């Protein structure tokens, strides 16, 4: 139940809301096809049996790849070659996602005051923000922000920056999360590394854009964005630039760290708005893997169906890094019963936990 004080504060505050979303996905392949057609040969000896178990228990059924390993093996490519391909593939995906988001919001490119781009899977200068601003026809006065190497949680600080801009300037902002982790398939020298096997079993490519606008009467109002970082565990999740792409480091202790922080972060966020976990009917939790979802479900005391959307996105799309939590939000809000209150949760290097509270704008 929302307190009277919280209701008054919400009515008094301007409604800054996500009013449009757009998704662009490269071609899909099933997890079985990827295993049988490529990864069964990529891993050798005793490692192959371990890898097969990890793939089978990943919670992933299908996923997307801009560069499909069934057709093109990038595992021995140099980082330079991967970065050139990143631009070739990310630009059209980003353009498609942004175009769909603007159409969904009923806006044109020259309405946008701030363009925020999140990506940790590619480097380029001029970057996606500049090249897409050119190709999409954004106004020359449009401000830009690039959020790099925050990893899987980047969508939420990106959304926070967009929301702050809209609140301060009264102009719409545009957020794009575009990731191609499939470009960072590691070479044979890394094939016995369990952390690389997990990464190869989970990650997938996607681009998702969201429009944030002032004075909205539809969509989802952004009520607050919060974070907590446990710097004592900074080496538990890494994303290192090597001569053969970016290499993931992923400690098995990550779920344990999340378990120690997620309840306090969520309870404090909800309490400031007169809410409890039972009042939240939409949960968009980044599926870093099945264990992550199980830990969040247990620590927050959620019902069995509470993370159904997160598990469905993991199964259908894999872990797409920063776009993933937006894919889950889109699934929730376009369903037959759009939630009244939604909590978005995402995790990444730091170890960092981000949470965002959304309220259906028609309630605000």
Q: State the catalytic residues.
A: 152
Is the separation of the CB atoms in 324 and 188 below 8 Å?
Answer: no
SS3 content of the chain, % helix, strand, coil (to 5): 45, 25, 30
Q: What is the DSSP code string of 244-261?
A: TEEEEEE-TTHHHHHHHH
Q: Which helix (H) or strand (E) holds 240?
A: strand 237-242
For residue 353, what are the contacts with CB-CB under 8 A and spacing of at least 6? 153, 227, 228, 229, 258, 261, 262, 265, 345, 346, 347
Q: Who's near 224: CB < 8 A, 6+ residues apart?
A: 269, 272, 273, 356, 357
Cα dihedral value 290, 293, 299, 303, nearest 10 = -110
- Cα–Cα distance for residue pair 122/83, rounded to 1 Å: 6
DSSP letter for 217, please: S
Alpha carbon distances (Å) from 112 to 92, 95, 162, 211: 19, 15, 11, 9
Place of tokens 């499939």: 182
Backbone torsion region of residue 165, taken as left when φ is above 0, otherwise alpha when ψ lies between -120 and 50, otherwise beta: alpha
Tokens linked to 92: 């059209």
Tokens of 330: 């889109």
Comparing CA positions, the residue from 109, 221, 226 lying closest to residue 174 is: 109
Q: What is the Cα–Cα distance from 154 to 151, expressed in whole angstroms?
A: 6
User: Which residues are within 8 A (CB) of 140 and not within 5 positions of it... i.e. 6 or more apart?
Assistant: none
Best CA proximity match to 122, nearest among 79, 75, 77, 158: 79
């Amino acid at each position: 139940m929302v307190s009277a004080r919280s209701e008054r504060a919400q009515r008094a505050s301007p409604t800054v809301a996500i009013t449009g979303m757009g998704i662009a996905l490269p071609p899909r392949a099933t997890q079985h096809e990827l295993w049988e057609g490529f990864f069964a040969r990529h891993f050798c000896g005793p490692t192959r049996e371990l890898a097969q178990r990890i793939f089978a228990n990943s919670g992933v059924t299908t996923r997307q790849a801009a560069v499909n390993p069934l057709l093109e093996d990038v595992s021995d490519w140099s980082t330079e070659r991967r970065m050139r391909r990143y631009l070739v593939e990310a630009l059209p995906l980003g353009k498609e996602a942004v175009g769909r988001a603007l159409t969904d919001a009923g806006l044109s490119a020259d309405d946008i005051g701030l363009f925020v781009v999140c990506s940790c899977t590619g480097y380029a200068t001029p970057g996606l923000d500049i090249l897409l601003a050119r190709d999409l026809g954004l106004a020359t006065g449009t401000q830009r922000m690039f959020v790099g190497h925050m990893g899987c949680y980047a969508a939420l600080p990106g959304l926070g920056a967009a929301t702050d801009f809209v609140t301060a300037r009264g102009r719409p902002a545009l957020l794009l999360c575009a990731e191609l982790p499939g470009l960072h398939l590691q070479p044979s020298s890394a094939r016995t590394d369990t952390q690389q096997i997990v990464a190869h079993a989970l990650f997938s490519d996607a681009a998702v854009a969201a429009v944030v606008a002032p004075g909205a009467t539809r969509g989802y109002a952004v009520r607050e964005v919060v974070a907590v970082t446990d710097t004592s565990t900074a080496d538990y999740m890494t994303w290192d630039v090597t001569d053969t792409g970016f290499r993931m480091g992923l400690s098995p202790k990550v779920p344990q760290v999340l378990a120690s922080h997620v309840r306090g972060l969520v309870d404090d966020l909800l309490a400031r708005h007169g809410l409890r976990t039972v009042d939240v009917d939409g949960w968009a939790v980044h599926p870093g893997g099945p264990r992550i979802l199980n830990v969040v479900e247990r620590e927050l005391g959620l019902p069995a169906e509470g993370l159904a959307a997160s598990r469905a996105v993991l199964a259908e799309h894999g872990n797409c890094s920063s776009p993933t939590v937006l894919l889950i939000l889109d699934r929730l809000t376009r369903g037959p019963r759009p939630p009244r209150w939604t909590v978005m949760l995402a995790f990444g290097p730091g170890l960092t936990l981000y949470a965002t509270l959304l309220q259906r704008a028609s309630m605000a």
